[in-house]
Every structure is written in C-alpha cells, then in structure tokens.
A and B are shown apart, each in its own frame.
Chain A
Amino acid sequence: MTLFNLGAREAGHYAEPVTLADLVEQGEARSVVLESGDEVAALKPYLNRLELVVLRFPIFRDGRGFTQARELREYLHFGGEIRVEGHVLPDQADFLKRCGVDSVVLPEGSDVRPWERQLKRYSVSFQRSVLPEKVLDVGTRVAR
C-alpha cells in the first residue's frame, strides 16, 4: 500500500485503527476507522485522544465521506489526520483535500501522477472549503 499526501501534512504512523464499535467499547484507541454510514458525531467523547480518523469509501460514487470529513473539521474541530481508504479516484483528489482529508491509501504500485496533476489543476474554486483559502473579490470565488 502507498500513502499519498494531499496537503502539507505528512501521513503519520499509528496503531491499527479500531472500528467505531470497538472505540466506543474500549475508548482508549488513538485511531479509528469509520464506515460511510457511521455518524461522525459519535466520535465526540474521544476526540482528545484521537490522532487519526480513517474514512472508508466502499465505492467512489458514495460521497458520504466528503460530508464526514467536513463535519470532522468544521463541526468537531478535529485537528488530527484524516485519511481515506477504499475505492477513490484521482479525479476526487481536490474534493477530498478541500473537505479536510490529509492522505489517501492507494494500492501498492499505484501511479500517483494523476493525483498530483489533479491537485494542481485549478487556480480558483467557487465556494469556501475547510481550508484557509483567500477570498477573491468576485462572487464566491477563492484562490487556490
């Protein structure tokens, strides 16, 4: 497996993440993996300890992970690493990054160039994201 960093944060090394159910039972783990149907709000009691939240995409078309990431950053102010694993496409790199995801788990030997290209593709976006992007003076535009 290859870890690809979407932004400045280097993917860290953590103990094997536990499921949400195990986290609720033990409460001690520092990394957790959420399925796309899991409620992010359930992590609230454990946020102080958590260093890594892994969001699992069952298929790239299932966009719930984007909302999960955004809720983690915007609602819960989670400052640790958000990582995505499962079926995602390089075409989604920028969306993931702008929703607050730091890193993506790719199959070993994956070509990371499409991921790199996608992150550099656009010089503006047309809505605010969780990133500190500069607001421009036309409509809802932000600089990238």
Chain B
Amino acid sequence: MTTAIGQYQYDQVDRDFLAARIEEFSEQVARRLDGALTEDEFKPLRLMNGLYLQLHAYMLRVAVPYGTLNAAQVRAFADVARRYDRGYGHFTTRQNIQFNWIRLEDTPDILRLLADVDMHALQTSGNCIRNVTSDEFAGAAADELVDPRVHAEILRQWSTLHPEFTFLPRKFKIAISGSPNDRVAARFHDIGVIARPGDDGRVVFQIFVGGGLGRTPIVGQELYDSVPEERLLATLEAIIRVYNAHGRRDNIYKARIKILVQALGVAAYRNEVEAELAQMDIARYRLSPEMVASIEARFAAPDLQAPEGAAAVLAEQRAQNMVFDRWVRSNTHAHRSEGHIIAVVSLKPPGEIPGDVTADQLDRLAGLSERFAYGELRTTHLQNVVFGHVRQDQLYDLWRGLVDVGLGAPNVGLIGDIVACPGLDYCALANARSIPIAQKLGARFADMTLQEQIGALQINISGCINACGHHHAGHIGLLGVDKRGEEFFQMTLGGRADDQATVGKILGPALPEDDTVDAIARIVDRYLQERSGQESFLETLKRVGEAPFKEAAYDTV
C-alpha cells in the first residue's frame, strides 16, 4: 500500500492493536452465544464496535476518521458491499459508512477485511467518545487557517478505549475545524473545536460545549476562546470528567452533556471544569509539540504541481460545455494552491437515496481518486464525497468519469442536496420513512436549471425526533411523525449549522407525505417571488419573516 495522503499512516503497533481489538470482539460474540454475556450486557459492547441490531438485519457502521479515505479503503468498502451486503453502502451525517444488511456471524470476518486496510468500526456507536469528525476541505480550502486533521487524529487516538470515558451517560460527539467558515457544525456537537494559529506559532482552540440536535436541539456555547495546544487534552478530560460524574443517568433523553450544561449554565460548567483542572496532574495530560510532530510526520502531503495555464484550460472547457460549467459552479470550492480546485461529488442524484453508493460506484470513485486526487477521498457530514486536490486542467476528465457512473449531479448545496436519515425503511427507532419523501423531493426539483435558480437551500429529513437527519439544522427541516398509523411530516424553517448556528422554527401542523412535497414546492415558489436580488432563501426568510411561507405552505386552495 502506498503512503496515504491526508490521513495518519498506521504502523505495526496500530495494526497489532486493531487485531487485538477484533480478537476481543470475537470473544465477546462467542461469550454471547454461549450465554456468558446476557443480551443487555452484550449490547453496549457490540455497539462500541459499530454493530446495531436494526429492523431487518444487523447494521455495521464503519469509522472514517475525520472523513478521510484512501483508494484501497474505498475498494474495501466495495468488497464488503458485494460480499456481505446487497451491493451498496450508505454514507452517514458523521462522515462514516454504514452497511445495512449484515449477519452477526460475518462481522469478525468483515472487521478483519477492514483491518487489512487500517479501518475499523470502533466507537461508531455506544455511550463513548465517538469517531471524531472534521472539515471535508481540510488541508485544501483557501479559507483554512489550520489543517485540523493532525489534532483530529490525536483526539481519535486519545479517545480510543479511554479507560474513564467508555461508559459515559450517553454518546459523545466531537468535531474539529480549522476554518472560520464552520463546515463541521461545531456548535451542534457535544464538544466543537475550532483551531486557529496562536501568537506563539502554536495552535489555539476555541471550544464550544453542549450543542446537539436530537429531542432537545441546543446551540453549543463557547466554553473557552483560546485553549493552548498543550492544554487541549487536559481541558477535554476535565470537561468530560464533569459530565461523566454529573450527567444524568436516570433518563436517556436527558443524559447528553447539553442537558447538564443547560441545567448548570455555561459559567457554572466552566467553574466545574476549572476545579478539575486545578486538581489534575497537568503534566500528565500535556500535549507537547513533540507529540504533535510525531503524529504530523505520519501524514503525507500532496505534491501540488499544476502546469502553467491549468486555470486557462479549465476556463476554456467551461466555456465550451454548459453542463460541465454548471457542475463547476455548484460542485467545486476554491483551493489554497494555484491551479488546483476542490471537487464535491453529489451522492444525491435526483430520485435516488441520499448518501447511498453502489459497490461499482465505490470502485470507480477509488480509481478516479488515484487518477486525479492523489488517491485520497473525503466524506462529508452532508453525505457527499470530496476530491480534495484536483488539478484544474484535469477537472473536466474527472467530471466525465463521474458522469459515467451516474455521479454527475450538479446540485451540491442546492435543494436537491438533501440530507436524510435511513428512516423507517431500516431503523428500529423511526416513526416515518425518510427516504421516499427525499426521493420525491429530489424528483420534484430534478430540473438542474431550476435548482440553480433557487440557489443555496438545504433540506434535512429525520424519521423521528432523534434527529439523525439533522432536521433542526436544515434551512427547511422535515420531521417524520406517526399520526394514527399514517406518516406525517412536521416542517421547520430557518435552521443552519454554520457559525451562525440556529435551530429551525416549527412552521405549523404536520402534513402527509405528498402534501408536504407540495407545500415545499409552494414555499420555494413564494421565496422566488419574495426574494430581492441575489438573496438566499435564509436571507429572504430573515427579511420577510415566516408568515408568507406559512401562508404558502398551508394554502391548499
């Protein structure tokens, strides 16, 4: 295997550790089968290995640390999809991938197959520190101040089998970004971390705590403005120690850290954290420059050499092909290096299931990454895939390759770029199916010219109040509810997950599936009438308020 770009390179110690962890899980499965473990005891243990029991089968959620993959890993996913699933996988809102049709007895073999490419399913579920997410444009975006992946990897390692924090009151999610343009929804995480350069040349961290969606959506609050790098782990340990000791354990719906932060107030929570820090043996938690450097040394950087005139080639190709040009407008982002560009692959072709990829598409994505993007791929929390470093003169060929496998939808950030949880088609918790309404909305707005005309508009769909589809954070959010056996959808407007994070407001009574699709179409029409100039949907909503949209939504003639 070649050295991976943009991700931590495993050594034999890491591989031995992973093998031992799989051995541990195999023994746990055996102890469950021989009755030494009860189902209640086995459940949290299998969850910490990413294995859920869903409606029809087991689901295995594989970790994609900070959303970075290499081509061999993507091919391994294709292999798992073909051999152990029904030929496809599903990218999640936490940058992971799920396989929905897994047999319990196959899981140790699948885990070994994944371990061969340094992948695992550790801590993708359970009441522990979950897989750490990061910016899908890390190390590439023109607007980035610090590449967050080195610290994301440090957090991944530090949180792996943490002796004190593996049986927390509830799950615990950390996201880290190094850009002032928050692409990780830092304020909707248990802990959100924004890195930036400090005065002494080392990195400092702004830390938000107590954000989250779910039943009680809350925007996280700033706990610290600038934690020095040396104190990062000490500070996180102190925050989580307070939570482990005092978070509620009597009611799982009130057990997240956000509830504790709300109950105490952020100032009092900070006092508690300070009281821990004052007693801690700080030297033992010190994250030294040498430790950081030793992790950084395991990351290979791409040799970004674009030929003279790469930008001119791209401009020429855009001028000649309107379809390509539209795709470039919606699906690319500025790169920090001249002659390069970031390409986002939409996994939301009209009428398809958001985030789903077939084994053949995975193989093709792996091949394209090798040809055009240094063998590196990223997953996004909006369920898309990113090629981080593409030469501008090669973007057209990459696009052609994507179109060939049905992944050329020019709708990133537009109304067709829908985020949806698996819903009642798969999930044991859901009240409603998220996928059919996502497909209907995708089909309703399939016209790409119309999508571009509508502009930035994020729809998020959750099949129940656990909010895995992040509906509270959608510009338009849909929550599936069950009304006497019929699926209804409650609409929220105005949510957003960026640096102006806001929880969407409920618009009015829930509607049946088809009526919801019609209502959204009327809301969009109303926006197009109301908007002034180049205003986005959120800007218009802010200016005119929700009344016109409410009127449009419930205007059934």
Contacts and interface: CB of A to CB of B under 8 A. Distances in A.
Contacts of B154: 139-140
17 contacts: A63-B164, A63-B167, A64-B249, A66-B164, A66-B166, A67-B241, A67-B244, A70-B164, A89-B41, A117-B27, A123-B16, A127-B162, A138-B13, A138-B294, A139-B157, A140-B154, A140-B233
A102 to B, nearest CB: 14
A13 interface: no
A43 interface: no
A66 B244 contact: yes
Contacts of B249: 62, 64
Interface string B1-44: 00000000001010011001001100110010000110001001
Contacts of A98: 163
A71 B278 CA distance: 12
Interface in A81-113: 89, 91-92, 94-99, 111
A62 B45 contact: no
Interface in B159-216: 159-169
A140 B158 contact: yes
A60 B285 CA distance: 27
Contacts of B169: 63
A141 B13 contact: yes
A61 B250 CA distance: 12
B13 A63 contact: no
Contacts of B159: 126-127
Chain B interface size, under 10 / 10 to 19 / 20 to 34 / 35 or more: 35 or more
A139 B295 contact: yes
Residue among A66, A92, A124 with most chain B CB within 10 A: A66
B405 interface: no
A27 interface: no
Contacts of A95: 161, 163-164, 166
B484 interface: no
Contacts of B529: none
Interface of B: 11, 13, 16-17, 20, 23-24, 27-28, 31, 36-37, 41, 44-45, 127, 153-154, 157-169, 233, 241, 244-245, 249, 279-281, 284-285, 287, 290-291, 294-295, 298
Contacts of B41: 60, 89
B285 A128 contact: yes
Nearest to A36: B249
A71 B238 CA distance: 11
Contact of A94 (B163, B280, B284): B163
A74 interface: yes
A91 to B, nearest CB: 6
A140 B164 CA distance: 16
A124 B20 CA distance: 11
A137 B438 CA distance: 49
Given A95-B166, A122-B17, A140-B158, A63 B244 contact: yes
Given A62-B167, A140-B158, 17 more contacts: A61-B167, A63-B166, A67-B241, A71-B279, A74-B281, A91-B24, A95-B161, A95-B166, A99-B163, A114-B36, A123-B13, A127-B162, A127-B233, A137-B290, A139-B153, A139-B295, A140-B291
B31 A114 contact: yes
B167 A66 contact: yes
A91 B20 contact: no
Contacts of A64: 244-245, 249
Interface of A: 60-64, 66-68, 70-71, 74-75, 89, 91-92, 94-99, 111, 114, 117-118, 121-129, 137-141
B190 to A, nearest CB: 15
A47 to B, nearest CB: 14
A61 B47 CA distance: 13
Given A62-B249, A140-B158, A75 B279 contact: yes
Contacts of A66: 163-167, 244
B288 to A, nearest CB: 10
B111 to A, nearest CB: 16
Contact of A99 (B37, B164, B285): B164
Nearest to A117: B27
B45 A140 contact: no
Nearest to B127: A61
A95 B24 CA distance: 14
B158 A129 contact: no
A21 B41 CA distance: 32
B243 to A, nearest CB: 10
A63 B164 CA distance: 7
Nearest to A111: B36
A74 to B, nearest CB: 6
Nearest to B156: A126
B457 to A, nearest CB: 41
Nearest to A77: B281
A129 B163 contact: yes
Contacts of A92: 167
A123 B31 CA distance: 23
A76 B166 CA distance: 23
A127 B240 CA distance: 14
Given A63-B166, A138-B13, A126 B160 contact: yes
B161 A74 contact: no
Contact of B284 (A91, A124, A128): A128
A104 B165 CA distance: 19
B257 to A, nearest CB: 14
A67 to B, nearest CB: 5
A141 to B, nearest CB: 7
A137 B167 contact: no
B31 A124 contact: no
Contacts of B280: 74-75
